Chain A
Amino acid sequence: MKADRIVKPSSLEQAYEILISEKSATILGGGLFLRLQKKHFTTLIDCSHLLSSEILIGDVISIGSMTSLRDIETNLSLPKGLNQSVKQISGVGVRNLATIGGSVYGRYPFSDINTMLVALDATLTFFNSGKISMRKYNEEGLKEKDILLEISFRAPQFSASAFYKKVYTDFSLINLSVSNNTLAIGARPMRPIYLEHVDFSKSPKEILSEVEFGSDFKGSKEYRRALCEARLEDLIYTMGGHHEN
């Protein structure tokens, strides 16, 4: 990553103005994925002093976009599935830097936390575009660049997350998240999809029969389906079902 300048705007209005006026200006979240890109940015906009890194717990949970993944991992007032979804994203050092805003805004299909947020039917609040469903954003993105302020969702009665990684700190080959009776599947390797009103008394094979998987250098679609069925069975077991034979 190369950059010509880095600015610390005094307000979000100013940050937004710079963001839309320059084609290759971008907002810095944790900066981890930008760091790995071979892009040349005219301007990096550091809004870390303007954006929230607070977690507010209530019937509706809201998480500031600059909240680190490590804070999400260690805040045990958050839904358990959300804690679980981030706990093996690289090491502690990376999770201290990586932000939920960066993960969400990038719409990374391999992201473990994005799959959980799709299951939770989270709402995203942007500076200019206002409130948008995570599911819609995940599918369509935005027409224009924007600044993500907050991620919010209703506290679920039950949530859980599972994944399969070849190495402890690697990207997931497949990830799954459950929120009440909604199941989301990510790293297929396409973007996460969700199934609502899932009958978890059915077998994983039946539940996943309509789900499309793809192949990449990490694994074939058949391998991913097999892994997904196995990890779903594990999730169902944590919910008190299956695993009798």
Chain B
Amino acid sequence: MKINLIVNHNHYDYYPRPDEYLIESLRKLGFQSVKKGCDTTSCGVCSVIVDGQLVPSCSYLTSRCDQKEVLTVEGIPEEARHIAEFITAEGVDQCGFCSPGHVMAIHALKLELKNPTMEEIKHYLAGNMCRCSGYEGQHRAIKKMMEVE
């Protein structure tokens, strides 16, 4: 089955296996920012945006991505740098393994919610785990970033 996979606005002719998930396809295509964490839909580390919606790429069948717009951190370099500056300023970047998924979740949050409350931010990001930080620093960073924009 051939599909037209659109990643960060570039088109790829791709032949996924029937049971191939998007994380595997993206990494094969060189999008190494997409990390494999729990591989059971629980941690949010593999989060990408498909047609404007945040999804765990470990559980999204690639064959369902025909003609869909997939966005990874590589597709939003300026935005990713901007978010990272706020996160590092709070000292919560640490190991960085969860950062790409976290950045995509924050990007999706910004697309979806205008002027979110702290409670809404925490709720939105609850599916993105970080084993280094205690989340408070991340939440402070996001709140500061959203306030200054």
B residues lining the A interface (CB < 8 Å): 1, 18-19, 21, 40-42, 44, 47, 53-56, 58-61, 63-64, 105, 108, 123-128
Contact = CB atoms under 8 A, between A and B. Distances in A.
A2 B61 CA distance: 12
A165 B141 CA distance: 27
Interface of A is mostly: mixed
Interface residues of A, number: 26
A93 B61 contact: no
- State the 6 A-B residue pairs at the shortest beta-carbon distance, nearest first: A91-B127, A3-B19, A6-B18, A3-B18, A93-B54, A96-B53
Given A6-B1, A92-B105, A97 B60 contact: yes
A5 B18 contact: yes
Contacts of A93: 44, 47, 54-56, 105, 127
Given A3-B18, A36-B41, A87-B123, A94 B56 contact: yes
A61 to B, nearest CB: 23
A44 B127 contact: no
Contacts of A5: 18
A92 B124 contact: yes
A50 B42 CA distance: 29
Q: Dominant SS at the B interface?
A: mixed
Nearest to A6: B18
B120 to A, nearest CB: 11
Interface of A: 1-6, 28, 31-32, 35-36, 44, 46, 48, 70, 87-88, 90-94, 96-97, 168-169
Contacts of B126: 88, 91-92, 168-169
22 contacts: A5-B18, A6-B1, A6-B18, A6-B63, A28-B61, A31-B60, A31-B61, A31-B64, A32-B41, A35-B58, A35-B59, A36-B40, A90-B127, A91-B128, A92-B126, A93-B56, A93-B105, A94-B41, A94-B59, A94-B127, A97-B56, A97-B59
A96 B55 contact: yes
Contacts of A92: 54, 105, 108, 124, 126-127
A129 to B, nearest CB: 26
Given A2-B19, A6-B61, A169 B127 contact: yes
B139 to A, nearest CB: 13
